[in-house]
Amino acid sequence: MESSPQTQRRTNWAVYQHFSTASDSPTPLLSRGASETVNYSESDQQPDACERVSLSPNNKFVPGLSEDNGDILRDFSKLGCCQKITTLLTSSHQFNNLQVEMLYQRYFLRTNQSHMVHLLVLLCILFTCMAIAVVLSDYETQVQCSLLLLCCILIYLVIIGIVSRSGLNEVYLSFVSYVVLATFLLIELSFGVLTRSQAVTVPTLVFVYISYSLLPVKLQYAIVAGTVFMLSQLIFTLSMEQGLSKQSFINLLLLACTNVTGVMMHYPNEVAKRQAFLETRQCVQARLTTQKVNQQQERLLLSVLPRHVAMEMKADIAGKRHDSMFHKIYIQKHENVSILFADICGFTSLSDQCTAQELVRLLNELFARFDRLAQENACLRIKLLGDCYYCVSGLPEHRPDHANCCVQMGLDMIDAITLVRDVMDVNVNMRVGIHSGRVHCGVLGLCKWQFDVWSNDVTLANQMESGGIPGRIHITADTLKYLGNAYQVEPGNGGERNAFLKDHNIETYLIVPPETTYVSQYYKKQSPGHAHNGNISKEFRIMGHNQRHNTFTCKDEPELNHGEVDEYLLCAIDARSIDRLKSQYCYPITLKFRDTNIEQIYSKVPDRMLYTYMTCTVCIYSAITAGHVIILPLSYLLLGCLLIGWLMIFLSAVVIFRNRLMEMTEPLKKASQTINQNRSIAQSLALAIIVCCFLTSMTPLIIHKLEVCFNEQNKNATEVLVVENPIIIRESACQLLFNYLTVCVIILMILVAVYQVLISLVKLSLLIFISTCYFIFSSIFLNHRPIEESFWIRILMFVVMLGLIVALILQAQQTEVTSRLDFLWKLQATEEKEDMEHLEAYNRKLLANILPVHVAEHFLTLDKPVDELYHEQCDSVCIMFASIPNFSEFYVELEANNEGVECLRLLNEIIADFDELLSEPRFQCIEKIKSTGATYMAASGLTRHTCDSKQYSHVTAMADYALRLREQLAYVNEHSFNNFRIRIGINIGSVVAGVIGARKPQYDIWGNAVNVASRMDSTGVLDKIQVTDEVYEILKLKGYPLTCRGVIEVKGKGNMVTYFLDNYAQQN
């Protein structure tokens, strides 16, 4: 088991990583800050009201709505009945939290405002062109139609003026949308009555699609508008004709198809936008939560370490690793400071009156009072050593009145302990010693850092306390020099009570205390019933020790609530400029991100609406198939084209829907994953589907038209198609086919718009191709009309088609801009959240090197009571003290060694080597408690996971660790040409572990076992490991060689039999 100490030196970073290993476990401390995931499920069990931001229609939870909100087919299949589908389609989506809903509406207000202005401008231009075309034509009702269009244009111009105002809210925008829908209905009805033509179906199709895609109205109102448009078309047709013609039937079928397509696009579009907003909000919330946790961590960190030390350590952790022969030392030198040491005299009698837990609480409340006094008196508390408290004034910033601050601090401490003495009727007092001079301050080692000070002046201040008088402040001549005449003093005669002061001929003085104190006057005002009541907490509340500002807890900082998140989002939304973001981050036409890295990330984001696209394709192609079967005679060409189209759609659906509908082979699964995860391939597939649908739809129609027109020209008469249904009237075959061609082209153009995965340029190319083919085909379909009449029809169709193309491209641009900017905002929020998480990780690593992880969790937990004290009873804890007694002889302050800094550098190397040993797997159960000067303290078995009360593996680990310390110091001596000698003491027993000094928490352990372990060190022998009889009994059974030292006298314990641990356990 013996190993050589000549192990390879590791860098600070490697040791940081080791001591933060526990941080990687999924504990509350370390997992805090992860973004909250809002899952859409059927469960009614929701978080509290402020967290219920799940998507629902009319504040009812949507069944089957998953995180994949584009999966409309899957959602529909989960609904299960017509009633749920009806509820889903006729309900408006909104968040349960009204504040979040308001933010969502504000989030898209400017976008909707801009889109509305663009749409109205487009309608004005379109209606103007139509009015001009109508005026120039020879229609009988051209005046009425032109006036109607001009009235609509005027209405739109007024609305543009209203919508363009910056103070517009969501209510006015919705009202404006309803006005626009009313003008659409007016145009449909008026044109139908005035023209008595089936051509009114064309603008009706456009109006229906605009209702769903370009107007910011709720789905239920869009459905109402689309249904009204369709019913008005039906009523108009029935009033104009004796029956329902083929053309009218097909028009109604395509209108119904457009409505269904609009619903299927509007629903997942709305859900996708809401989820994008919700994800952005969650990122912001996670960022703010992480920021709040980071503030709490940093506050805890800065309560233990001064800011300049903590920031330097954090920078080193965040920076690159640097290999060097020596570990970095965090020490600074400060001149002209005053050091105060204070010790509680009679602490043993005080501790006899309370249990160990009550003692910890007593110390915590007392030292919390001292911490508050230190802050009021501009003193920096350095460390707590049992019942000893010491602080420094003049750190980290210089103060000319540092001596005065320390003296006032000492007077206040004496007043505070006087109140304890009067309240508890215990003979306790404070012995205070102060000296002024130079200190080196900082931390030593690699883990469990505690800010400390070192110098000969610190040693002298400590001796001033030891040679002082209870209830008095003992100062040196150097301190008196800084005080001037601020206090009355008298000779201290410290040399008579302390050998160190006598040997160094130190002149000392005692501060003459004031006759009355504030505490004494305060106590006299209290009821006498407060004394001797045995309630420590109540007694100390009289002192104000248990007040809120005396306790370190995360409740001091209010818990992050959703109001903060919403307020942050509101400010961000108000400052958000769509045009500025678009011009700053995107190219003008293609809308691609200027940053290629962002574009690559965006291109890898899967399109969650692929399932919706395919469903809409099936719906539209079904309507076209039905129309072809009704209008065209059955032929091999028609059946072949339709079969090719359906085969293409079926294969695409099988690949896209993956194994949602059926089990798939491995090649199909790979193809499905590739399409669903790669936008470029998905775009290519969408392009192929659209082209296939267009070709298979147009080919039989055009060929049949050529045949019909050829036959009609030969007969020079109008023939009708075979009509089996008596309610369908006879019409001109050419006119019927032309009208059908028009609505087919429009529905195919809508199909192009459905595929939002296509970029705007590709959509524009497809729309231009389809419209060009339409105008070429229209010359064939209108050859039976007079030239002048067919010319104006083409002009009107050209205006309508052009307007539709612009509207579809406008919608495509708006959708893509919204999608890209939402992605950008979410990406920025995610990056900010990650930055905060990295910052939290740095703080976490520092905290893991200051406090045990479970202790840090206690202080960072948000729901702890304000006055809750952290302490726990631990049984069978093995405690070790290891000291280097002759280091004090090595430490000298000379100009050659930078006033002692180089001596401390060597001590830092020794402690760092000791810390590195703790990273070995067999020593994982050992927790470093602290190092004070050249004394190192550690304990094992402090948690139920590390305490082995049966096999005592934590005791054997401590024994091995003590042996490794001795070997490591020998290794240091060999390479530094020194002769340091170590002295180690080990004991086992029950302890109380906890945190005292609430404003500046310090983890420590107390109990008789700790005192005995300390005595095993102080009464030990150099280069020996002294253990108690309890430890001997355990190690003997494990095969460790031990030698009995015999009976020794231990202060406070009497005679004890102790043993020396000689070597590692013998191998079996």
DSSP string, 28-46: HHHHTTPPPP----S----
Q: What percent of the chain has pLDDT over 90?
A: 25
* End-to-end CA gap in the chain: 11
Query: Phi, psi at residue 1053, to the nearest 5°?
Result: -125, -10
Q: Which span out of 411-420, 556-565, 661-670, 727-736 was modeled with the highest average pLDDT?
A: 411-420
Q: Is 1015 annotated as a binding residue?
A: yes
Q: What is the dihedral of CA 86, 90, 92, 93, to 10 degrees?
A: 30
Q: Is 760 annotated as a binding residue?
A: no
Of the candidates 160, 210, 344, 984, the residue annotated as catalytic is: 344
Of the candidates 68, 387, 457, 913, the residue annotated as catalytic is: 387
Mark whether 344 is an active-site residue: yes
- Three-state DSSP string of 563-597: HHHHHHHHHHHHCCCHHHHHHHHECCCCCCECCHH
Of 721, 716, 652, nearest to 681 by C-alpha is 652
At 732 the three-state DSSP class reads: coil
For the ranges 206-215, 277-286, 635-644, the lowest mean pLDDT is seen at: 277-286
Confidence of residue 950 (pLDDT cuts 50, 70, 90): confident
One-character DSSP codes across 835-846: HHHHHHHHHHHH
At 504 the three-state DSSP class reads: coil
With a cut of 60, say whether residue 381 has pLDDT above it. yes
- What was the pLDDT predicted at 988? 94
Round to whole Å and give the CA distance between 416 and 410: 10
Task: State both tokens at 222.
Answer: 């869009």
Round to whole Å and give the CA distance between 799 and 864: 70
Mean pLDDT on 207-230:
88
Of the candidates 68, 71, 75, 343, the residue annotated as catalytic is: 343
With a cut of 80, say whether residue 662 has pLDDT above it. no
Q: What residue type is assigned to position 666 of the chain?
A: E
Round to whole Å and give the CA distance between 487 and 345: 24
For the ranges 655-659, 676-680, 830-834, 1053-1057, the lowest mean pLDDT is seen at: 655-659
Q: Which span out of 287-296, 434-443, 898-907 was modeled with the highest average pLDDT?
A: 434-443
Query: Phi, psi at residue 656, to the nearest 5°?
Result: -75, -45
Mean pLDDT on 217-245:
80
Q: Is the distance from CB of 299 to CB of 412 less than 8 angstroms?
A: no
Phi-psi region of 574 (alpha: psi -120 to 50; beta: other; left: phi over 0): alpha
At 632 the three-state DSSP class reads: coil
With a cut of 60, say whether residue 544 has pLDDT above it. no
With a cut of 80, say whether residue 116 has pLDDT above it. yes
For the ranges 782-791, 909-918, 975-984, 1054-1063, the lowest mean pLDDT is seen at: 782-791
Can you name the residues that pair with 57 across neighbouring β-strands? 93
Mean pLDDT on 289-296:
74
The pLDDT tens digits for 984-994 are 999 999 988 88
Q: Is 162 annotated as a binding residue?
A: no
End of a domain among 557, 584, 608? Answer: 557
With a cut of 60, say whether residue 688 has pLDDT above it. yes
Q: Has residue 910 been placed in a domain?
A: yes
Confidence of residue 789 (pLDDT cuts 50, 70, 90): low
Round to whole Å and give the CA distance between 737 and 734: 5
Q: Has residue 1014 been placed in a domain?
A: yes
Of 207, 267, 108, nearest to 817 by C-alpha is 108
Q: What residue type is assigned to position 457 of the chain?
A: D
Q: Is the distance from CB of 843 to CB of 298 less than 8 angstroms?
A: yes
Mean pLDDT on 849-860:
73
At 990 the three-state DSSP class reads: strand
For the ranges 165-174, 484-493, 796-805, the lowest mean pLDDT is seen at: 165-174
pLDDT top residue among 829 and 506 = 506
Query: Phi, psi at residue 197, to the nearest 5°?
Result: -130, 150
Can you name the residues that pair with 761 across neighbouring β-strands? none
Going by DSSP bridges, is the β-strand pair 473-476/429-443 parallel, antiparallel, or unpaired?
A: parallel
- What was the pLDDT predicted at 133? 77
Neighbours of 1037 (CB within 10 A): 11
Q: Is 146 annotated as a binding residue?
A: no
Of 684, 620, 685, 624, nearest to 657 by C-alpha is 685
Of 969, 899, 967, 964, nearest to 934 by C-alpha is 969
Of 909, 901, 906, 910, nearest to 441 by C-alpha is 901
At 327 the three-state DSSP class reads: coil
Task: State both tokens at 823.
Answer: 């992605």
Confidence of residue 570 (pLDDT cuts 50, 70, 90): low
With a cut of 70, say whether residue 517 has pLDDT above it. no
Mean pLDDT on 947-956:
86
At 235 the three-state DSSP class reads: helix
Q: Has residue 1051 been placed in a domain?
A: yes
Q: Is 1013 annotated as a binding residue?
A: yes
Q: Is 1004 annotated as a binding residue?
A: yes
Q: Is 775 annotated as a binding residue?
A: no
- What was the pLDDT predicted at 966? 94
The pLDDT tens digits for 23-57 are 443 333 333 333 333 333 333 333 333 333 343 43
Mean pLDDT on 566-595:
70
Round to whole Å and give the CA distance between 844 and 297: 7
With a cut of 80, say whether residue 1060 has pLDDT above it. yes
Q: What residue type is assigned to position 198 of the chain?
A: Q
Q: Has residue 86 been placed in a domain?
A: no
Task: State both tokens at 758.
Answer: 């296509």
For the ranges 54-63, 353-362, 793-802, 933-942, the lowest mean pLDDT is seen at: 54-63
Q: Has residue 315 been placed in a domain?
A: no
Going by DSSP bridges, is the β-strand pair 1002-1006/1025-1027 parallel, antiparallel, or unpaired?
A: unpaired
For the ranges 25-39, 85-99, 296-310, the lowest mean pLDDT is seen at: 25-39
Task: State both tokens at 216.
Answer: 């910011």
Task: State both tokens at 750.
Answer: 């809508």
With a cut of 80, say whether residue 17 has pLDDT above it. no
Q: Is 315 annotated as a binding residue?
A: no
For the ranges 6-15, 781-790, 831-840, 982-991, the lowest mean pLDDT is seen at: 6-15
Query: Phi, psi at residue 58, to the nearest 5°?
Result: 55, 45
The CATH number given to whatever domain includes residue 412 is 3.30.70.1230
Round to whole Å and give the CA distance between 871 and 855: 9
Mean pLDDT on 675-699:
87
Neighbours of 245 (CB within 10 A): 22
Confidence of residue 784 (pLDDT cuts 50, 70, 90): low
Tally of domains within the chain: 2
Tell me: cis bond preceding 396? Omega within 30 of 0 counts: yes
- What was the pLDDT predicted at 298? 74
Domain boundaries, position 473? 326-557
Task: State both tokens at 812.
Answer: 């495509």
Q: Has residue 456 been placed in a domain?
A: yes
Distant-in-sequence, close-in-space partners of 303: CB < 8 Å, separation ≥ 6: 552, 999, 1000, 1001
Q: Is 484 annotated as a binding residue?
A: no
Cα R_g (the chain), whole angstroms: 43
- Please tell me what DSSP assigns to residue 560: P
- What was the pLDDT predicted at 710? 60
One-character DSSP codes across 904-945: HHHHHHHHHHHHHHTTSGGGTTEEEEEEETTEEEEEE--STT
Confidence of residue 552 (pLDDT cuts 50, 70, 90): very low
End of a domain among 534, 557, 580? Answer: 557
Mark whether 387 is an active-site residue: yes
- With 0.85 as the threshold, say if the pTM is over it: no
- Three-state DSSP string of 152-212: HHHHHHHHHHHHCCCCCCHHHHHHHHHHHHHHHHHHHHHHHHHHCCHHHHHHHHHHHHHHH
With a cut of 70, say whether residue 1006 has pLDDT above it. yes
Confidence of residue 59 (pLDDT cuts 50, 70, 90): very low
Q: Is 750 annotated as a binding residue?
A: no
Round to whole Å and give the CA distance between 807 and 794: 19
Q: What residue type is assigned to position 335 of the chain?
A: E
Distant-in-sequence, close-in-space partners of 479: CB < 8 Å, separation ≥ 6: 338, 403, 406, 407, 434, 435, 436
Q: Is 386 annotated as a binding residue?
A: yes
Q: Is the distance from CB of 888 to CB of 581 less than 8 angstroms?
A: no
- Please tell me what DSSP assigns to residue 352: T
Mean pLDDT on 379-408:
89
Q: Considering the chain, what is the average pLDDT of its residues?
A: 77
Q: What residue type is assigned to position 188 of the chain?
A: E
Q: Is the distance from CB of 427 to CB of 498 less than 8 angstroms?
A: no
Q: Has residue 42 been placed in a domain?
A: no
Confidence of residue 1024 (pLDDT cuts 50, 70, 90): very high
The pLDDT tens digits for 868-882 are 567 788 889 999 999
Confidence of residue 793 (pLDDT cuts 50, 70, 90): low
Q: Has residue 316 been placed in a domain?
A: no
- What was the pLDDT predicted at 788? 52
For the ranges 19-33, 265-279, 842-856, 917-931, the lowest mean pLDDT is seen at: 19-33
Look at the block and give the residue holding tokens 């609904």: 79
Q: Is 427 annotated as a binding residue?
A: no
Mean pLDDT on 260-284:
78
Neighbours of 691 (CB within 10 A): 14
With a cut of 90, say whether residue 1061 has pLDDT above it. yes
With a cut of 80, say whether residue 359 has pLDDT above it. no
Round to whole Å and give the CA distance between 389 and 410: 11
Task: State both tokens at 799.
Answer: 């205006």
Task: State both tokens at 1025.
Answer: 């490991």
With a cut of 60, say whether residue 675 has pLDDT above it. yes
Round to whole Å and give the CA distance between 642 and 930: 82
For the ranges 163-167, 756-760, 969-973, 997-1001, the lowest mean pLDDT is seen at: 997-1001
With a cut of 70, say whether residue 84 has pLDDT above it. no
End of a domain among 537, 557, 577? Answer: 557
pLDDT top residue among 450 and 722 = 450
Confidence of residue 507 (pLDDT cuts 50, 70, 90): very high
Mean pLDDT on 4-13:
43
- Please tell me what DSSP assigns to residue 556: G
Q: Is 110 annotated as a binding residue?
A: no
Confidence of residue 365 (pLDDT cuts 50, 70, 90): confident
Confidence of residue 157 (pLDDT cuts 50, 70, 90): very high
Mean pLDDT on 179-201:
79
Of 751, 759, 987, nearest to 205 by C-alpha is 751
- CB pairs under 8 A, 24+ apart, for 828-832? 829/280, 829/283, 829/284, 829/287, 830/283, 832/283, 832/287
Going by DSSP bridges, is the β-strand pair 871-883/926-932 parallel, antiparallel, or unpaired?
A: unpaired
Round to whole Å and give the CA distance between 942 and 332: 33
Q: Is 344 annotated as a binding residue?
A: yes
